Amino acid sequence: MQEVMTTKTLHHRDRVSPGLLWTLRILVTAQAAGLIVAASFAGQGVKGGEALAETHVMAGMVVHLIALVQIIAAVLVWRPGRGAGWPALASLALFLIGMGQHFTTEMLGTHVPSGVMLFGLDVALLVWVWSSRAATRSS
């Protein structure tokens, strides 16, 4: 009789920590916003504006720092939180692609497609992190 668990207890045990999940949600959302800002300054910088190009670089650095913290949050959701593991790998990929962005600023043929890849991967993370599946623990 003592082994019977209430629905509320079982429900709580099958969920990722809300604090960890909210931290990841905020970071992924901030990274998406930063990518939009960086992309808008890139477009204006191409039209001819050294100051706007420099602002693009600074926005990219902010996005890169967010990605670094996001890796930590995603690993915490995955390992101790027993959540999905792919967001940690996706966050690492975002960080590494972002590093590549810094080295390809003069090569638009590489810089632009990798920027699109950054945005696409971050949108995939956004959709997942705000879904109810993100709160469910992996078996």
Dist CA 22 CA 28 (whole Å): 10
**136: which strand partners?**
15
CA angle 54-57-61, nearest 5°?
140
- List C-alpha distances in Å: 85 to 24, 49, 70, 75: 13, 41, 13, 7
- What CA–CA distance (Å, rounded) separates 119 from 111? 12
One pLDDT digit (tens) per residue for the chain, 139 residues:
455 444 444 355 678 888 999 999 999 999 999 999 888 887 666 666 667 777 888 888 899 999 999 999 999 999 888 888 999 999 999 999 988 887 776 677 777 888 889 999 999 999 999 998 888 877 5
Q: What is the pTM of this model?
A: 0.81
Contact 95, 68 (CB under 8 A): yes
